[in-house]
Homo-oligomer: A and B are copies of this chain.
Amino acid sequence: MPLAPTTPASLVDQAIAGMRALLESGEWEVGTRVPPEPALAAALGVSRNTVREAVKALAHLGLLQVRRGDGTYVAATTDMQALMRKQLARVDIAHLLEVRHAIEVRAAALAAERRTAADLASMDAIMDRRRQAVLDGDGPAFIDADVDFHCAVVAAAHNPLLVELYDGLVETLRASIEHPGAADVLAAEHDAVLDAIRAGDPAVAATASADLLDHVVP
C-alpha cells in the first residue's frame, strides 16, 4: 500500500483530532466559546485556513456551533452527544424516556453483576449528596446528584457503548428533572436500585430500576 502524501485534507484531519481531544478531555465544555481562529491556528500549528475548515467540519458534525458575528461555541463533546441532540430536537420526550428505560434497566442488571467496590463507593457518595441537597433545599445540587446517580448505574455496567448512548440522552433528561421541594418522594426507589446492585442481584436490580423509571412521568 503506497503511503498517502501529506495533503491539506490530512492537516485538516489533524486539526479536527486536536480539537476533538480538547472536547473529550473536558477542557472545552458545552456552552463555552472556543478561542478565535488565530489562537487556534497557533495552538494546533496549522494555518488559519486549515482551522477554518476543521471548524466547519466539526460544525457539520454538531460538535461546534458557529454564531455569525459572535464566535464559535461548543455544542457537544462527543459525536453521539451531537447526534442525540439533533435527534432529540425532533423526538417526543415520551420516546426519549422509553429509550432511557431500555438502557437503564438493562444497565442496572449488568451493574449488579459487574459493579466494583469503587462503583459502590461512588454511588454511596452520590446518594449522600442527593440526600443532603434535599435537606438543604438546594435544587441545582439535587439535580446534579440525581443525574450523577443514574449515570453511575450505567457506568457500573462496564459497557462503553451503553455509556455513550446514555451520555447522549443525559443532558436532555437533566432538563426534565424537577426539584423535589422539601420531600424526595423517590428516595426509596433510588435506594432499592442501589441495594440490589450492591447485593449482586440482576433481576431485582432490573425490576427496581423499571419501578423507579415508571415513577418518572414525562
Contact = CB atoms under 8 A, between A and B. Distances in A.
Interface of A: 4, 9, 16, 56-57, 60-61, 68, 79-80, 83, 86-87, 91, 95-96, 98-99, 101-103, 105-107, 110, 157, 159-162, 164-165
Contacts of A79: 83, 86
Nearest to A88: B161
Copies of the polypeptide in the assembly: 2
Contact of A98 (B68, B83, B99, B162): B162
Contacts of A162: 95, 98-99, 102
Contact of A106 (B91, B102, B164): B102
Tell me which of A56, A83, A91, A102 has the highest count of chain B C-beta atoms within 10 A of its own C-beta: A102
Main secondary structure on chain A at its contact with chain B?
helix
Nearest to A157: B98
Given A91-B161, A95-B162, A98-B161, 14 more contacts: A16-B60, A57-B57, A57-B60, A60-B60, A79-B86, A80-B87, A87-B164, A91-B160, A95-B161, A96-B161, A99-B161, A99-B165, A102-B106, A102-B162
Given A79-B83, A87-B80, A103-B102, A95 B57 contact: no
Given A80-B83, A83-B79, A98 B91 contact: no
A57 B55 CA distance: 11
Contacts of A106: 98, 101-102, 105
Contacts of A98: 106, 110, 157, 159, 161-162
6 contacts: A60-B60, A79-B83, A91-B160, A98-B159, A99-B162, A102-B107
Contacts of A103: 99, 102
B110 A159 contact: no
A42 to B, nearest CB: 23
A162 to B, nearest CB: 6
B4 A68 contact: yes
A61 B60 CA distance: 8
